[in-house]
Amino acid sequence: MKGSVEVEDLSVVFKRRDQYGPLLVLESTSFKINSGEFVCLLGPSGCGKSTILNLIAGFLKPTKGRVLVDGQLVEKPGADRGFVFQQYSLLPWKTTFENVEFGLKIRGISRVERTELVNDYLNRVGLYKYRHSYPHQLSGGMQQRASIVRALVNSPSVLLMDEPFAALDAQTRHMMQELLLNIWSDLKSTVIFVTHDIEEAIFLSDRILVMGVRPGRIKETVVVNLDRPRHIDTMLSPDFVNLNRQVFELIREETLKSMELG
Ligand SMILES: Nc1ncnc2c1ncn2[C@@H]1O[C@H](COP(=O)(O)OP(=O)(O)O)[C@@H](O)[C@H]1O
Ligand SMILES: [Mg+2]
């Protein structure tokens, strides 16, 4: 089984050119994620969630500490880690098919194999019909589905997702959450999902790493023992409501701090 992630004693200091001087964003943060686990990083805006994800992706180098994926030191981005951004990030001049195909082409996968793989994935998320459409012809939800399959088609052992549904309306967001869980239950890759939405974190994850602010760090780990498969009804169960209350209290304190009110 692939997809284990070890984050060891990570600190990040951003040098700033303004009067405030260096900013300690992340301080001595450590955690481990097992193969196939679905983990959410939850915390208020500005607590360092994207920074952690960017470190695991290899987009950013830590000031101190290290990240290991399957025991290998992360030094740069790699095909073992797929990334889905919050903002729609498909190439506007390529069709859905071409966008999803792009990574496979770069890796030298044959045309026949590419076509089969891409069509299979587009089918899974209901986009086969739209394979020749351009991003501007797709809704926000469709563009994010395309972004997810663009990452998955390369069979990453770890899928990194940075608030991928934040820009979607509530109805579409719920459908995307269920769709993501369905895909994940088939593929069993590790997912690290960043969100500031408590219900989203509980609905999706096996475990929630609740982050604190100033400086960012993991404040608490909450295990989510809700049965799978999960559906919208899961959100109405007493266990869900209890977890929601528990996590809400943890987050509330940090949100006040991040708003400089606490
Ligand atoms: N490249 C950078 N240079 C300076 N400050 C940054 C940079 N990237 C992020 N920050 C700051 O670091 C903090 C954490 O950012 P980020 O990880 O994006 O938070 P989150 O994703 O939790 O909202 C914020 O205060 C942000 O303004
Ligand atoms: Mg962010």
For residue range 182-239, what is the model confidence (pLDDT) as tens digits?
999 999 899 999 999 999 999 999 999 999 988 899 999 999 999 999 998 999 999 9
User: Three-state SS across the chain?
Assistant: CCCCEEEEEEEEEECCCCCCCCEEEEEEEEEEECCCCEEEEECCCCCCHHHHHHHHHCCCCCCEEEEEECCEECCCCCCCEEEECCCCCCCCCCCHHHHHHHHHHHCCCCHHHHHHHHHHHHHHCCCHHHCCCCHHHCCHHHHHHHHHHHHHCCCCCEEEEECCCCCCCHHHHHHHHHHHHHHHHHHCCEEEEEECCHHHHHHHCCEEEEEECCCEEEEEEEECCCCCCCCHHHHHCHHHHHHHHHHHHHHHHHHHHHCCCC
Q: Do 260 and 176 share a domain, yes or no?
A: yes
Domain boundary pick from 131, 155, 179: 155
Q: Do 75 and 93 share a domain, yes or no?
A: no
Q: Is 186 within the bounds of a domain?
A: yes
Q: Do 74 and 101 share a domain, yes or no?
A: no
Q: Do 93 and 189 share a domain, yes or no?
A: no
Q: What is the pLDDT of residue 20?
A: 78
Q: Is 160 within the bounds of a domain?
A: no
Ligand 1 pocket: which of 16, 25, 195 to mutate (most atoms within 8 A of CB): 25
Q: In this structure, which residue's CA is closest to atom 9 in ligand 1?
A: 51
Domain boundary pick from 155, 181, 197: 155
Domain boundary pick from 109, 125, 155: 155
Total tally of structural domains belonging to the chain: 2
CA dihedral of 159, 164, 170, 173, whole degrees rounded to 10: -30
Ligand 1 contacts CB of residue 248 (under 6 A): no
Ligand 1 contacts CB of residue 215 (under 6 A): no
Q: Do 151 and 172 share a domain, yes or no?
A: no
Q: What is the pLDDT of residue 114?
A: 97
Q: Do 149 and 192 share a domain, yes or no?
A: no
Whole-number average pLDDT of the chain: 95
Q: To the nearest whole percent, how much of the chain has pLDDT over 70?
A: 99
CA of 195 to the centre of ligand 2 (A): 8
Q: Do 59 and 126 share a domain, yes or no?
A: no
Q: What is the pLDDT of residue 262?
A: 55
Q: Is 202 within the bounds of a domain?
A: yes
Q: Do 182 and 262 share a domain, yes or no?
A: yes
CATH number at residue 176: 3.40.50.300
pLDDT digits (tens, 9 = 90+) for 50-69: 999 999 999 999 999 999 99
Q: Do 183 and 108 share a domain, yes or no?
A: no
Q: Do 74 and 178 share a domain, yes or no?
A: yes
pLDDT digits (tens, 9 = 90+) for 112-149: 999 999 999 999 999 999 999 999 999 999 999 999 99
Phi, psi of 112 (to 5 degrees): -60, -45
Ligand 1 contacts CB of residue 54 (under 6 A): no
Ligand 1 pocket: which of 11, 12, 13, 14 to mutate (most atoms within 8 A of CB): 14
Mean pLDDT within 16-30: 88
Ligand 1 contacts CB of residue 22 (under 6 A): no
Handedness of CA 139, 116, 99, 164 (dihedral sign): positive
Q: Do 133 and 195 share a domain, yes or no?
A: no
Q: Is 28 within the bounds of a domain?
A: yes
Residue in the block written with tokens 């805006």:
45
Q: What is the pLDDT of residue 141?
A: 93
Distances from the Cα of 162 to the Cαs of 75, 82, 87, 225, 238, in angstroms? Answer: 20, 11, 9, 23, 29
**Parallel, antiparallel or unpaired: strands 217-223 and 190-195:** unpaired
Q: Is 190 within the bounds of a domain?
A: yes
Q: Is 25 within the bounds of a domain?
A: yes
Q: Do 174 and 222 share a domain, yes or no?
A: yes
Ligand 1 contacts CB of residue 12 (under 6 A): no
pLDDT digits (tens, 9 = 90+) for 69-110: 999 999 999 999 999 999 889 999 999 999 999 999 999 999
Q: Is 161 within the bounds of a domain?
A: no
What is the domain range of residue 30?
1-80+166-262
Q: What is the pLDDT of residue 256?
A: 87
Q: Is 226 within the bounds of a domain?
A: yes
